[in-house]
């Protein structure tokens, strides 16, 4: 296995349980890849790339025995807040009724619409969850492959005619239009609009961003917008538990082992060659690297059909955001909020502000007013910082690849960090004086440090033409590749998203079936 991220670890656990000998090759010094945690100062620990643990289905948690290995899932409350001056802050809770009361303070009409809106979103997200729990369908495949999808079809039909039509209307819609149709309050629309562009380099006026909003609601309780799975100890604690599980099952994890190329003989992957020349033979190779690095970098275009190579080159890898991590002497105090929420803080005064931030980025510059989505994870999990101290992580959208170096506000990534702190200080005046240390990660840094093409942790935009049977490329969405014995998993494959575990499970099933057949 190339890499030891969450999906690779899940696949390794399943294959080892089935009796296969598995070796994981990790370029970093610890398991986890981009999911590994880091300290920005001694005792101040952050997840550098991922803001939360994504969505691990209950069945995956149970089958792997994660809770028995010390994984504790937290439910932050409030789950989301949007500080504001006029009209007061917007606060969303785990309890939809408490959220409705908060919305009513800004708009009674929106409060009346809230329950119906979140119920529709939840019912539609359940369908996406059902699709993600299965390998992607092959439109031209044999009819027997349709059998697992009959249940999904019944689920869609159970929505009823009116709601089914609404689902099909919603999927290609811009999030801007969806939210403008549903609500009046600009802050509510801006807050949800900011969540609808996570994983795409697009503004909320772009088609299909409503689908992105739905995608991020998979696994969330009704009315809960924000982090889906918070793990005590950070995403790194999930990595540690999975690494322990696979070790117990006999998996060998080699850190500091960077793969230079996949060895291919007569159209079949027979192992890998490491930096330094060592060769590792294998009956099957599973790559958790993104499709471009796997096929064009490690395998080599010369081993692939030109049409396939062209399709891989057309994949859009556009992370579009920077991460700013801070070690704090005290928690930020946001005006209008009694306490900073344990979940997310969203700074997007309206959907037009989100769109303007994207407008700047699509022309190569960072907006003077970027959209910020922040968390103070140490509020829910004090283990991440020394007693009485805190850590804060901020997603800055939108930042084009290399854009931090031509922001108009300075000449470096640190200038971007300064701009972020200044914007946050408008709402939390004590923040600048509380900063003990800071780390700014631009898309260029994410590319170089964590091997993410385009600085994209999703390994390809979550756009409609890059999902389901078209991920990573049309015709090759079921974890097998044109090279026999080479398989892929990770966010760049179905069902997409940062962390789900589903890709690793689907890929391990494909490998298991093929190796058992040849055995």
CATH number assigned to the domain comprising residue 488: 3.50.50.60
**Domain boundary residue, one of 399, 428, 450:** 450
pLDDT band at 498 (very low <50, low <70, confident <90, very high): low
Cβ neighbours of residue 264 under 8 Å, at least 6 residues apart?
A: 270, 299, 300, 303, 483, 486
The whole-number pLDDT of residue 500 equals: 81
pLDDT band at 460 (very low <50, low <70, confident <90, very high): very high
The answer to whether residues 324 and 311 belong to one domain is no
**Residues found in the chain:** 519
Q: What is the mean pLDDT of residues 450-472?
A: 92
Query: CA–CA distance from 214 to each of 103, 153, 222, 388 (Å)?
Result: 21, 18, 12, 37
Q: How many helices (H) and strands (E) does the chain have?
A: 17, 18
User: Distance between CA atoms of 317 and 459, rounded to whole angstroms?
Assistant: 6
**Domain boundary residue, one of 415, 450, 485:** 450
414-438 burial code (b ≥16 CB/10 A, e <16): ebbbbbbbebbeebbeebeebebeb
Residue 79 in domain: no
Contact criterion met (CB below 8 Å) for 96 and 115:
yes
The DSSP string of 271-282 is: EEEETTS-EEE-
The answer to whether residues 343 and 410 belong to one domain is yes
State which residues form the domain around 481.
6-35+53-69+232-315+459-518
The whole-number pLDDT of residue 116 equals: 94
**Domain boundary residue, one of 185, 215, 245:** 215
Note the pTM of the prediction, 2 decimals. 0.93
Q: What is the pLDDT of residues 432-444, one digit of tens each?
A: 999 999 999 999 9
Q: Among 49-58, 391-400, 431-440, where is mean pLDDT lowest?
A: 49-58
Q: Is the pLDDT of residue 409 over 50?
A: no
Residue 511 in domain: yes
The DSSP string of 28-66 is: SSSTTGGG--EEEETTEEE-SS-SS-----HHHHHHHTT
- Total domains in the fold of the chain: 3
More confident residue, 140 or 364: 364
Q: Among 146-160, 171-185, 314-328, 476-490, where is mean pLDDT lowest?
A: 146-160
Other residues' Cβ atoms within 10 Å of the Cβ of residue 448: 12
The answer to whether residues 323 and 310 belong to one domain is no
Respond yes or no on whether the N-terminal peptide bond of residue 173 is cis (omega within 30° of 0): no
The whole-number pLDDT of residue 403 equals: 57
Residue 43 in domain: no
The whole-number pLDDT of residue 45 equals: 96
Residue 82 in domain: no
Residue 203 in domain: yes
Q: Among 201-210, 338-347, 475-484, 506-515, where is mean pLDDT lowest?
A: 338-347
More confident residue, 219 or 297: 297
SS3 call for 373? strand
More confident residue, 186 or 159: 186
The answer to whether residues 183 and 118 belong to one domain is yes
Sign of CA dihedral 382, 384, 387, 390: negative
Q: Is the pLDDT of residue 407 over 70?
A: no
User: Distance between CA atoms of 415 and 433, rounded to whole angstroms?
Assistant: 17
The whole-number pLDDT of residue 406 equals: 46
User: Distance between CA atoms of 152 and 129, rounded to whole angstroms?
Assistant: 10
Residue appearing with tokens 């590749």: 481
The whole-number pLDDT of residue 515 equals: 93
Residue 84 in domain: no
DSSP label of 465: G
The answer to whether residues 329 and 446 belong to one domain is yes
| Strand 230-231 to 73-74 pairing | antiparallel
Residue appearing with tokens 């500080």: 83
Q: Is the pLDDT of residue 375 over 90?
A: yes
Partner residues linked to 271 by β-bridges: 263, 281
The whole-number pLDDT of residue 383 equals: 94
The DSSP string of 1-19 is: -B--SHHHHHHHHHHHHTT
Q: What is the pLDDT of residues 77-131, one digit of tens each?
A: 899 999 987 778 999 999 999 999 999 999 999 999 999 999 999 999 999 988 8
Residue 224 in domain: no
User: Distance between CA atoms of 180 and 162, rounded to whole angstroms?
Assistant: 20
The answer to whether residues 444 and 511 belong to one domain is no
The whole-number pLDDT of residue 411 equals: 44
The answer to whether residues 389 and 297 belong to one domain is no
CATH number assigned to the domain comprising residue 325: 3.30.519
More confident residue, 338 or 514: 514
The answer to whether residues 164 and 242 belong to one domain is no
Six-digit token string for 36: 């590994």
The whole-number pLDDT of residue 408 equals: 40
The whole-number pLDDT of residue 154 equals: 84
The answer to whether residues 423 and 333 belong to one domain is yes
The answer to whether residues 279 and 386 belong to one domain is no
The answer to whether residues 246 and 276 belong to one domain is yes
Partner residues linked to 45 by β-bridges: 39
The answer to whether residues 209 and 154 belong to one domain is yes
User: Distance between CA atoms of 501 and 279, rounded to whole angstroms?
Assistant: 29
Closest CA to 44 of 414, 445, 436, 429: 436
Residue 303 in domain: yes
Query: CA–CA distance from 407 to each of 368, 418, 419, 508 (Å)?
Result: 8, 12, 10, 44
């Amino acid at each position: 296995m190339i890499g030891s991220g969450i999906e690779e670890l899940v696949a390794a656990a399943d294959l080892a349980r089935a009796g296969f000998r598995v070796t994981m090759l990790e370029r970093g010094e610890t398991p986890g890849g981009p999911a590994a945690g880091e300290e920005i100062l001694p005792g101040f620990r952050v997840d550098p790339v991922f803001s939360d643990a994504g969505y691990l289905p209950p069945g995956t948690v149970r089958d792997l025995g994660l809770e028995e290995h010390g994984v504790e899932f937290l439910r932050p409350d409030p789950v989301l807040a949007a500080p504001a001056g006029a009209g007061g802050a917007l606060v969303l809770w785990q309890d939809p009724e408490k959220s409705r009361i908060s919305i009513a303070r800004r708009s009674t009409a929106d409060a009346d619409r809230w329950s119906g809106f979140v119920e529709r979103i939840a019912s539609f997200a359940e369908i996406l969850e059902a699709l993600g729990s299965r390998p992607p369908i092959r439109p031209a495949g044999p009819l027997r492959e349709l059998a697992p999808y009959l249940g999904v079809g019944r689920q869609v039909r159970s929505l009823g005619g009116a709601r089914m039509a609404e689902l099909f209307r919603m999927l290609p819609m811009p999030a801007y239009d969806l939210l403008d149709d549903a609500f009046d309050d600009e802050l509510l629309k801006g807050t949800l609009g900011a969540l609808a562009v996570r994983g795409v380099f697009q503004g909320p006026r772009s088609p299909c961003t409503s689908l992105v909003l739905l995608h991020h609601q998979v696994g969330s309780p009704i009315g809960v917008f924000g982090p889906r799975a918070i793990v005590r100890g950070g995403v790194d604690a999930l990595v540690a538990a999975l690494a322990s599980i696979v070790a117990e099952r006999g998996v060998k994890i080699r850190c500091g082992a960077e793969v230079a190329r996949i060895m291919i003989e007569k159209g079949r992957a027979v192992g890998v060659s490491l930096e330094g020349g060592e060769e590792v033979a294998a009956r099957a190779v599973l790559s958790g690297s993104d499709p471009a690095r796997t096929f064009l970098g490690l395998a080599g275009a010369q081993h692939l059909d030109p049409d396939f190579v062209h399709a891989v080159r057309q994949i859009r890898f556009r992370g579009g955001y920077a991460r700013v991590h801070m070690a704090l002497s005290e928690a930020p105090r946001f005006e209008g909020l009694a306490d900073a929420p344990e979940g997310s803080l969203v700074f997007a005064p309206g959907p037009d502000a989100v769109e303007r931030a994207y407008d700047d980025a699509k022309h190569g510059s960072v907006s003077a007013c970027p959209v910020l989505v922040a968390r103070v994870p140490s509020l829910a999990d004090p283990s991440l910082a020394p007693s009485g101290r805190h850590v804060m992580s901020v997603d800055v959208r939108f930042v084009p690849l290399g854009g931090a170096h031509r922001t108009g506000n300075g000449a470096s990534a640190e200038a971007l960090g300064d701009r972020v702190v200044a914007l946050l200080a408008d709402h939390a005046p004590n923040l600048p004086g509380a900063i003990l240390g800071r780390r700014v990660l631009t898309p260029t840094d994410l590319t170089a440090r964590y091997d993410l093409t385009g600085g994209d942790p999703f390994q390809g935009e979550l756009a409609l033409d890059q999902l389901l049977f078209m991920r990573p490329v049309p015709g090759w969405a079921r974890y097998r590749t044109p090279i026999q014995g080479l398989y892929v998993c990770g966010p760049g494959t179905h069902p997409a998203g940062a962390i789900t575990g589903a890709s690793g499970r689907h890929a391990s099933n494909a490998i298991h079936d093929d190796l058992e057949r040849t055995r």
